[in-house]
Structures are given as C-alpha cells and as structure tokens.
Amino acid sequence: MMLSGFQALSFDCYGTLIDWEKGISAVLGPWARSHRSDIDDERLLTIYGEHETRMEAQNPTAPYPDIVARTMMAVGQDLGVPVDRAEAGQLAASVPNWPAFPDSQEALASLAEHYKLFVLSNVDRVSFAGSNQRLGVSFTEIITAEDVGSYKPSARNFEALLACAAQRGVGSDKLLHVAQSAMSPARP
C-alpha cells in the first residue's frame, strides 16, 4: 500500500498505540492473586474483553471509567471473587496510566511530519489526555466515545470520524484508519 496517496491517518488508540493489555493486567492480575485466584493474565483479559464489549453495547453513553468499573465487577462475579467499589475504581482510574507501546511516540512524531493525525477511541477525554501525554504528539483531532455517545464498532463512531476529517479538508478516500486488528471484543 502506498501511503503517499493519503492526507491523514486515524488511529485506534488502545491496542494500537497504547498497550491496554499490560495496563489492565497490571491491576487485574494483582487483584486476582490477592483473592487467591490462580487465573492467568491471558484468561483474565479474555474474560474482561467479553464483558467490556457487552457493557459498551448495553451502556453506549456511559463514561468509559464506568464501563471499566462495571466490567471488573462482572469479571469478579464470573470468578466468584468479590470486587468492592475501591477495587473497581482503581482499574477505572488506571486508564490514563496504561503504557504506550515502545515505538508509538517515535512513529507518531515521524508520521505527524507528513499527515494529519486523528484518534478514534473508545475512551473518554480525561483518560485519553493521560495517554496522549505518553504519546507525545499533538493530534489534529481526537474523537472519543464520550464525544460520539457510542462505542466502536458502532457506525456512528466512524461517521463522526469521517465528518471530522471532512471539516479538516480530508475526504474519505484520503483517510487511512490504522488499527491493531479488525474490531473485536476488548479493544477500547
């Protein structure tokens, strides 16, 4: 694919630029172990992802920290492990601290020299602000689930991206969306 035909790149953030798995595991793993659960991080992430997808679909206008907290409560229920509000709140508050992938900052800085950069993310503005500090780049536009009132893979989110790009003079044929994978469960 020749990137020279594009004027702008849009990014899924979590799973593409930010290592959401490492961020979630840093809280869920110790929580599970503190409750004597021997479940490994990979299985925890799978369970988490299934519940988060459901929570987003059932609560499309809920702020992302609420989605995260509700998801952790559901994970605890699945595992038969109690989750108190403080534990759920700890995971919800951790989103801005999730680490960037090692190459994200340098890659974005290089791409910003040639393209307008957009973010289309399933989080809220406050959570993304913390992540954006780790990414170290000024995006042309940031579009969050909070802004749109729905979570990807809803078409509304991508329609919002296209409308935003058009306002910036970028047609849909000149915008390339960059993602870790096709939209699947557990991809904020």
Exposure of 62 in the CB half-sphere (CA atoms within 13 A): 18
Q: Are 81 and 32 in contact (CB under 8 A)?
A: yes
C-alpha 97 chain-centroid distance: 12
Which residue among 12, 84, 124, 147 is the active-site one?
A: 12
- Nearest to 99, CA basis, from 180, 23, 188: 23
φ/ψ of residue 13, rounded to 5: -95, -55
Beta-bridged to residue 20, according to DSSP, are none
Residue 12 catalytic? Answer: yes
Cα→Cα distances 183→83, 93, 153, 167, Å: 28, 24, 6, 25
At residue 140, the 3 state secondary structure works out as coil
Beta-bridged to residue 122, according to DSSP, are none
Q: How far apart are CA 25 and CA 42, in angstroms?
A: 8
Catalytic residue numbers read 12
